[in-house]
Amino acid sequence: MSEIFVMGYDAKLAEKNGKPMGPVDRIVNIVSDLTHMELQFSSRYHNLSYSATTIDGPNCSRFKDIKYSHLMERWVSRKILVSEIEEETMFFTACLRAGTPYDVVGVTSLATKLNIIKPDPQKTWCSKEVLIVLKSALPVIGDDDVTPDDADAQIERFIELQKGNKPTAKEMKFIKEYKEPKYASHSPQF
């Protein structure tokens, strides 16, 4: 078994601990307490993090070596236990998706329930990208086009179900219909 982590950046917590909110944090914080998400792979993959961002220049999905040196002061973390083949599948999926353009317009669709702005299915943002990669190997229940808070709630519920909590009728239907992914036979490792 491997331990992977979903990391949620809590901009208000960071601000209380001396890190001022940037303009993107302020905008996202209108609809979500968490303003960014990263998926951190296990030590098998050198604890690399994967997400989509515009902050550090790439404007796309990317891998990054993040040390989370201010973990308790800025980040909310969710530990997920996965098999090696599940992690390989997720890492392989992330490798295939790396470079997917960031959906600056689509992410604004999260600010309203009016459905006026539609996300571009060929583009992504942080919480959407983390969920897509997780769902390549795990039965996480819910939509992909969601805020970091909504993604965190899906992940938290998945962890509860993984620990043996009783699923709702809707979750039970999803679990029964869930088709196990065709796992990658192998994935690149460093």
- Rounded distance, CA 171 to CA 174, Å? 5
Radius of gyration of the chain (CA): 16
Q: What is the mean pLDDT of the chain?
A: 90
CB within 8 Å of 154: residues ≥ 6 apart: 131, 140, 141, 142, 146
**For residue 189, is pLDDT > 60?**
no
pLDDT band at 178 (very low <50, low <70, confident <90, very high): confident
Residues of the chain above pLDDT 90, percent:
69
Strand partners, 62: 51
* pTM (whole model) above 0.75: yes
Q: How many residues does the chain have?
A: 190
pLDDT at 73 (0 to 100): 93
Tens-digit pLDDT profile for residues 28-79: 898 899 999 999 999 999 999 999 998 878 899 999 999 998 989 999 999 9
Residue with more model confidence, 24 or 156: 156
Task: Give the closest residue to 36 by CA, choosing from 54, 17, 20.
Answer: 54
Question: Residue 80: enclosing H or E segment and its boundaries?
Answer: strand 75-82
Task: Give the closest residue to 101 by CA, choosing from 50, 62, 60, 51.
Answer: 60
Distance, CA of 133 to chain centre: 8
**For residue 187, is pLDDT > 60?**
no
Tens-digit pLDDT profile for residues 133-144: 999 999 999 999
Tens-digit pLDDT profile for residues 83-96: 999 999 999 999 99
Ordered by where they begin, the domains of the chain are 2-177 (3.90.1720)
SS (H, E, C) 115-164: CCCCCCCCCECHHHHHHHHHHCCCCCCCCCCCCHHHHHHHHHHHHHHHCC
pLDDT at 13 (0 to 100): 94
